[in-house]
Structure 1
Amino acid sequence: PAAPAAAHAPAPRPQAEGAEPVVELDHVNFAYPNGGATVDDLQMRVYPGELVGIVGQNGAGKTTLTKLLNGLLRPASGTVRIAGIDTKGVPTSTIAAHCATLFQNPDRQICKGTVLEEVAFGLTLHGMPEPEARQKAAAVAERFGLPLDESPFSLSRGQRQMVALASVVVLDPDVVLLDEPTSGLDYRECMTVMETVREMAGRGCAVIMVCHDMEVVSDFAQRLVVMANGRILARGEASQVFADDDLMAAAYVEPPQVIALSKELARDVDPAFANISEVSQVVDLVEEMVRRG
């Protein structure tokens, strides 16, 4: 049987000590008017500095969950709070001031004529004077190696995703939602995106990532929320969740290959390999064993 959805404490990060959760879902329910996927009794807390992965098959309710968080949907019952704000009674723009979204397709959020204008757009929407917004946007765009005066639509798919990411980073939000952030990217672009996201979490941003690439999830997410059929089946540290065969089967999730490798090594070589979820950890342990002889 799937593991129970247990309560979870703040991540062991300096930003989270004594902090209130920046994302709260309390007994949230939602159903689309014309049928389709529903979500039932969602309960979740995310704290500053956490990087949380949402996993589950298509139709599990992951996208509906993210739309409830960024205000594109409002709960039929229950409460969603972002940075202490109940989303039910405020405009989407108020939620957007605290919660930024990086969509799977960057073209859905790009609308300006130049990279500089695009990266600065969110800042001006939130009331920052244009000269200051352009100065801040230029610094962020240049960090990603983006050409300031070119049209975003003249750039490659990967570069357009970087433009969209820069537009999120520049806002310095309390919460960032990532919808398949590495889709369509090559390895270098994928690592640039994910390292940037990890830096944002390190500065205290709460990051919630929906991703089908379990290798990326395993490498970057500290904690997982597992969904199936509109419900949260379980949550916990990534290594423990991926190691639960019954839970993975119930959610129709294929764990990363390194999880199967660590299980076999724990069984056949040394129990110390148990619960390892990153290739680098396997390498480090092997090197340590070689040094010990």
Structure 2
Amino acid sequence: MIVVENLHFAYNGREVLRGIDLTMGKEILALVGPNGSGKTTLAKHLNGLLKPLRGSVLVDGLDTREHTVAELSGKVGYVFQNPEHMFFEESVFEEVAFGPKNLGLDDKEIEERVRWALQAVGLEGFEERTPYSLSGGEKQRLAIACVLAMKPKYLILDEPTTGLDLKAERSVVEVIKSLRESGHGILLITHDMDLVLELAERVVLLDDGRKAFDGPVEEFFELELEEYSLELPELLELARGLGVGFVRSVEELMEVLR
């Protein structure tokens, strides 16, 4: 369990997180809000990249102020918005192996972790490819594999489908679903309300550094999203126009209409 209590943080004297309380377990938790609301700042506290000005962040009982990012990497993995910023090795295999090598694991364990992580994201057979030769969706999945190889319990995915075409986006979505089924807790930072509708079990909405909402995805979509510069998914607009309640997919809508 990740437990955030009364978290405050400031950049250059300007407070950007103002008393955040949050818990997260084995779930897909969508973290949403307008630009500048504090989403990424909050997420960077969960793996120790940032330390609280006031308050605390505990990851399975570990106080992030007392542990390094390297120590916390086995608990919380962070996949940044631009995966290319994570790459610097010459092959996919070496890229995924980098983290486990830094843990001091033996060669057999490293290879097993690399093979397992690549299989988990559907990149078996890509071991000798250079990361920069991959497509956008493949790069995103490689970034996830690099984090998975550290065997974290929780994953932070920052705008994981931004800039991807539909096929690549679907491949990443399927990886996220698979990770959830395998028992990972996933923090999904996104502006894509369609992604929230499809994947999220719970939504936390930040506004001006404060928590404006924390609850089930169905209740989240009852809010006036325009107030937070967010848009209602077209599927829900259609469902409401047809007098149908909350649905999460076209298939579910068609079933209700039948």
Q: Which TM-score bucket, shorter chain as reference?
A: over 0.9
Structure-2-length-normalised TM-score: 0.93
Structure 2 equivalent of residue 241 of structure 1:
220
- Alignment of structure 1 residues 4-15 onto 2, 5 Å: none
RMSD across aligned C-alpha pairs, in angstroms?
Answer: 1.7
The reply on whether 1:144 has 2:123 as its aligned counterpart is: yes
- Alignment of structure 1 residues 160-179 onto 2, 5 Å: 160-179=139-158
Q: Which residue identity does 2:10 align to in structure 1?
A: A
Kindly provide the CA deviation profile for residues 26-76 of structure 1, in whole angstroms up to 9, marking residues without a partner as x: 1100011254x601111111112x001011111111111111112111110
Contact 2:137/2:171 (<8 A) preserved = no
The reply on whether 1:27 has 2:3 as its aligned counterpart is: no
Moved more, 148-157 or 23-32: 148-157
Structure 2 equivalent of residue 88 of structure 1:
65
> Which 4+ runs in 1 deviate beyond 4 A?
none
Structure 2 equivalent of residue 229 of structure 1:
208
Q: Which residue identity does 2:256 align to in structure 1?
A: L
Alignment partner for residue 22 of structure 2, among 21, 44, 65?
44
> How far apart, CA to CA, are the structure 2 residues paired with 1:264 and 1:183?
28
Aligned length: 256
Q: Which residue identity does 2:204 align to in structure 1?
A: V
> How far apart, CA to CA, are the structure 2 residues paired with 1:136 and 1:277?
34
> How far apart, CA to CA, are the structure 2 residues paired with 1:113 and 1:135?
20
Structure 2 equivalent of residue 277 of structure 1:
248
Contact 2:137/2:172 (<8 A) preserved = no
Structure 2 equivalent of residue 207 of structure 1:
186
Structure 1 equivalent of residue 80 of structure 2:
103
Q: Which residue identity does 2:70 align to in structure 1?
A: S
Structure-1-length-normalised TM-score: 0.82
Larger radius of gyration: 1
Structure 2 equivalent of residue 257 of structure 1:
234
Kindly provide the CA deviation profile for residues 180-229 of structure 1, in whole angstroms up to 9, marking residues without a partner as x: 00112222221221221122122221100001111111101111101111
Structure 2 equivalent of residue 217 of structure 1:
196
Q: Note the residue ranges of structure 2 that are not aligned, 5 or more in a row.
A: none
Identity within the alignment, % = 29
Contact 1:113/1:151 (<8 A) preserved = yes
